[in-house]
Chain A
Amino acid sequence: MNSYGILARFDSPKSLMHAAEKVRDEGFEKFDCHSPFPIHGMDEAMGLKRSKLGYLIGFMGMSGALFGFGLQSWIHSIEYPMNISGKPFFAYPAYAIITFELMVLFSAIGAVFGMMFFNRIPRFHHPVFYSEKFSDVSSDAFYVSIEVDDPKYEESFVIDFLKDIGGTEIEVLKDEI
Chain B
Amino acid sequence: MNGQIIKSKAEIRAEKLLPGNQDFTSITEDIAGVPEQKNTPIQWWLLFGLALSLLGIFAGSVGFLIWEGTGVWGINNPVFWGWAIINFVWWVGIGHAGTLISAILHLFRQNWRNAINRFAETMTLFAVICALVFPGIHVGRIWVAYWFLPIPNQMAMWPNMRSPLIWDFFAVFTYFTVSLLFWYTGLIPDLATLRDRAKGLKKKVYGFFALGWRGGNRQWQHYELAYLVLAGISTPLVLSVHSVVSSDFATSVIPGWHTTIFPPYFVAGAIYSGFGMVMTLSIIARKVYNLGHIITVEHLDKMAQIMLLTGCMVGYAYSMEFFVAWYSGNPYESFAFVNRALGPYWWGYWAMIFCNVVVPQFYWFEKYRRHIPFLFITSILVNIGMWFERFVIVVITLHRDFMPGAWAMYNPTIWDVSIYLGTFGLFFTGFLLFLRFLPMVSIAEAKLVLTESDPHHGDHHE
The chain A residues found within 8 Å of chain B, CB to CB, are: 12-14, 16-17, 20, 32-43, 46, 48, 51, 53-54, 57, 61, 71-72, 75-76, 79-80, 82, 84, 87, 91, 94-95, 97-98, 100-102, 104-105, 107-109, 111-112, 114-116, 118-119, 121-126, 128-129, 134-140, 145
Number of CB contacts from chain A to chain B under 8 A = 211
Is B167 on the interface with A (CB-CB < 8 A)?
A: yes
Report, as a range, how many residues of chain B touch the other chain.
35 or more
Best-buried of A35, A39, A76 by chain B (most CB within 10 Å): A35
State which of A35, A38, A121 has its C-beta within 8 Å of the C-beta of B212. Answer: A121
Are B178 and A13 closer than 8 Å at their CB atoms? no
Contact B181 A112 (CB under 8 A): yes
Indicate if the CB atoms of A95 and B161 lie closer than 8 Å.
yes
Contact A137-B214, Cβ < 8 Å, known A84-B162, A119-B222 = yes
Give Cα A171–Cα B157 distance, bound, in whole angstroms: 65
Q: Whole-angstrom distance from the CB of A76 to the nearest CB of chain B?
A: 6
A46 to B163, CA, bound (A): 52
Q: Answer yes or no: B230 CB below 8 A from chain A CBs.
A: yes
Q: List 28 A-B contacts (CB under 8 A).
A: A12-B452, A12-B457, A14-B455, A17-B455, A36-B189, A36-B444, A37-B453, A41-B455, A42-B221, A51-B222, A61-B233, A72-B161, A87-B162, A97-B171, A97-B244, A97-B247, A101-B237, A105-B174, A107-B233, A112-B184, A114-B226, A122-B211, A123-B211, A124-B211, A129-B214, A136-B196, A139-B28, A140-B24
Please give the residue numbers on chain B whose beta carbons come within 8 Å of chain A beta carbons, in ascending order: 23-25, 28, 32, 150, 156-158, 160-163, 166-167, 170-171, 174, 177-178, 181-182, 184-185, 189, 192-193, 195-197, 207-208, 211-226, 229-230, 233-234, 236-237, 240, 244, 247, 443-445, 447-448, 452-458
Q: A42-B220, A104-B233, A138-B192 are in contact. Are A13 and B457 (CB under 8 A)?
A: yes
Assess the A40–B455 pair: CB atoms within 8 A. Answer: yes
Name which of B181, B193, B221 has the most chain A CB atoms within 10 A of its CB: B221
State the majority secondary structure of interface residues on A: helix
Q: Which of A17, A95, A107: most chain B CB closer than 10 A?
A: A107
Q: Is the Cβ of B226 less than 8 Å from the Cβ of A32?
A: no
Which A residues are CB-close (under 8 A) to B217? 20, 32-35, 38-39, 42-43, 46, 48
Q: Is there contact, CB below 8 Å, between B25 and A139?
A: yes
Tell me which residues across on chain A come within 8 A of B226, comparing CB atoms.
Answer: 53, 57, 111-112, 114-115
